[in-house]
Amino acid sequence: MARKELSPELLAGIADRFKALAEPARLQLLQRLRAGDATVSALVERTGLTQANVSKHLQLLLSLGFVARRKEGLYAFYRLADDDVFRLCDLMCGRMDRELKARQRILASR
Amino acid sequence: MARKELSPELLAGIADRFKALAEPARLQLLQRLRAGDATVSALVERTGLTQANVSKHLQLLLSLGFVARRKEGLYAFYRLADDDVFRLCDLMCGRMDRELKARQRILASR
DNA sequence: TTAGTATATAACGATATAGTTGTATAGTCA
DNA sequence: TGACTATACAACTATATCGTTATATACTAA
């Protein structure tokens, strides 16, 4: 084990990837994609975000490999590239759960 | 399974937590803490960041439960609260590895 | 008490990015 | 061809946050 120092480049890469998941709008898009592929316009309808905004977020997620794209005529179908996103979000949700429970324990004990 | 819609509040909470990990300086601090507790001044020395900057980053990580603090006299010893951070970073590193390999495959095949 | 040290915090300037508006690209269909 | 549609992109404004400087807080020791 004993992993030594991570290079600044690697740290920056990791940070960039966390940053991609650090926006509610992008998390919402990823969540919508959990149900299956969707076109940009479908995601626009389902999220209430504007078309330009959705497109921009998807580009970022695509560039970092969180989603994949398939073109069909005029349409662009986006899908989740893998299920890392869920593993990552599940870890974060677990943290929040424990946090909440700890807070409740403190409140209960006074 | 079939998790339904995540509330905006939950999405914001998840986003906040990813945001905490979306800075190279904070990742560096967390990485340093992997070796064990450290005081603020020790982290300042080891990272080259300023005291105020380190302190501010640690406050954020503390408020979101990524690190814990123990006061001893003048000193504040920070430590990792759990090993979620490594699981999260390992997932991201795995993504980068696969990305790199895929890029190499493409280059090799021309 | 006063001096000194470790940490936290406030205020500020600089930079980054989310969301918008407008437009460009590219495919479909008459 | 031209009209229409879906998506991408450029330019802009507004906001958030990083890092800095200066200061406040809190503990120790003389």
What does the pLDDT read at residue A110? Answer: 64
Mean pLDDT, chain B, as a whole number? 93
Nearest CB to B11: which of A6, A14, A24?
A: A24
B15, B90, B6, B3: which is closest to A23 by C-alpha?
A: B15
- How large is the average pLDDT for residues A91-95? 94
Q: List, in order, residues 6 or more apart from B5 with CB less than 8 Å away.
A: A31
What does the pLDDT read at residue A106? Answer: 81
Inter-chain CB proximity B24 and A8 less than 8 Å: yes
% residues pLDDT > 70 (chain B): 95
Question: Tokens 């507790």 correspond to what residue?
Answer: B37
Among A61-65, A67-71, B102-106, the range scoring the smallest mean pLDDT is B102-106
Tell me whether A15 touches chain B (CB under 8 Å): yes
Give the tens place of pLDDT for each residue, B58-83.
999 999 999 999 999 999 999 999 99
Inter-chain CB proximity A91 and B94 less than 8 Å: no
Nearest CB to A14: which of B3, B84, B92?
A: B92
B2 falls in which pLDDT band (50, 70, 90)?
low
Tell me whether B9 touches chain A (CB under 8 Å): no
Global pTM value: 0.93
Give the tens place of pLDDT for each residue, A12-63.
999 999 999 999 999 999 999 999 999 999 999 999 999 999 999 999 999 9
Give the tens place of pLDDT for each residue, B23-51.
999 999 999 999 999 999 999 999 999 99
Q: Is B51 left (phi over 0), alpha (psi -120 to 50) or beta?
A: alpha
% residues pLDDT > 90 (chain A): 82
Q: Name chain A contacts of B92, Cβ cutoff 8 Å.
A: 13-14, 17-18
Q: What is the CA radius of gyration of chain A?
A: 18
- pLDDT exceeds 60 at position A81: yes
